[in-house]
């Protein structure tokens, strides 16, 4: 190999090395840019998912509160109806006892006698 050939080989090797370094740098930059894009996409997704989770939690909590309020109202209405029924029954019994005291006592004795018979067996 002559000096000219050796110089040419060194020049080609140097040019190839520089080109390879340039290509490696370009790949590094591409990977860096891609990493940034993926990171941004993941952050956007996570933020969106977090917001959606908070909205779903808030809506579920509102639904539970609404259901509890509804149940409270219904139970209050049922208690009121039961109290009215008890008052009505009490008034009816009082009226019946006042109108027919002897019949009421006889009925009470008869019911007591039947309960006593059933209890004995």
Locus of tokens 């941004």: 40
Average pLDDT for 29-44: 92
pLDDT digits (tens, 9 = 90+) for 82-121: 999 999 998 988 888 889 888 888 888 999 999 998 888 7
Locate 102 and state its tokens.
Answer: 């002897």
Tokens of 18: 């520089």
pTM here is 0.46
Nearest alpha-carbon partner for 64 in 74, 52, 72: 72
Confidence label for 56 from pLDDT (cuts 50, 70 and 90): very high
Domain of residue 30, residue span: 3-120
- For the chain, what is the domain count? 1
Which pLDDT score, from 0 to 100, does residue 21 have? 85
């Amino acid at each position: 190999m002559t000096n000219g050939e050796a110089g040419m080989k060194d020049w080609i090797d140097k040019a190839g090395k520089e080109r390879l370094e340039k290509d490696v740098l370009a790949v590094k930059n591409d990977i860096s840019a891609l990493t940034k894009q993926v990171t941004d996409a993941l952050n956007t997704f996570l933020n969106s998912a977090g917001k959606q989770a908070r909205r779903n939690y808030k809506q579920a909590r509102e639904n539970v509160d609404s259901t509890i309020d509804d149940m409270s109202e219904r139970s209050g209405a049922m208690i009121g109806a039961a109290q009215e029924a008890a008052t009505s029954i009490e008034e009816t019994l009082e009226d019946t006892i006042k109108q027919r005291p002897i019949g009421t006592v006889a009925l009470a004795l008869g019911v007591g006698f039947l309960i006593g018979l059933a209890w004995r067996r």
